C-alpha cells in the first residue's frame, strides 16, 4: 500500500508539475526527487512547486539545477557596513 501511494504521488507530481511549469520529460525526471523532498507541501500546485524549487536552488541536486538552467550557484553579495 505504501508503494502504491508513493507511485500515485509521483505520477501526480510528474503529471501536474512538468518540472517547473511546462518542462521537458528530462527536466521532470531530474527534478521530481527534489520537488518531492524539498517542496512536497506544494504538490500538486505547479506554480508553487516551481517557486519553491527556485527558492531552494542551492539545495537542488546538480541534475535538477542543470535542468532548470541554474547549474552554478551564484555567490551571495556582501553588504557593506555603514561606519
Range 33-53 burial, b when 16+ CB lie within 10 A, else e: ebbeebbeebbeebeebbebb
Q: 75 or 60: whose pLDDT is higher?
A: 60
User: pTM to 2 decimals?
Assistant: 0.57
Give pLDDT tens digits for 1-57.
655 544 445 555 545 444 445 578 998 899 999 999 999 999 999 899 989 999 999
According to the 3-state scheme, what is the secondary structure of the chain? CHHHHHHHHHHHHHHHCCCCCCCCHHHHHHHHHHHHHHHHHHCCCHHHHHHHHHHCHHHCCHHHHHHCCCCCCCCCCCCCCCC
pLDDT at 66: 94
Cα–Cα distance, 37 to 40 (Å, whole number): 6
Amino acid at each position: 500500500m505504501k508503494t502504491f501511494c508513493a507511485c500515485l504521488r509521483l505520477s501526480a507530481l510528474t503529471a501536474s508539475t512538468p518540472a517547473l511549469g511546462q518542462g521537458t520529460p528530462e527536466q521532470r525526471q531530474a527534478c521530481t526527487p527534489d520537488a518531492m523532498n524539498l517542496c512536497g507541501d506544494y504538490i500538486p500546485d505547479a506554480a508553487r512547486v516551481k517557486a519553491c524549487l527556485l527558492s531552494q536552488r542551492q539545495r537542488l541536486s546538480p541534475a535538477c539545477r542543470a535542468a532548470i538552467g541554474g547549474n552554478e550557484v551564484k555567490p551571495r553579495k556582501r553588504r557593506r557596513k555603514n561606519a
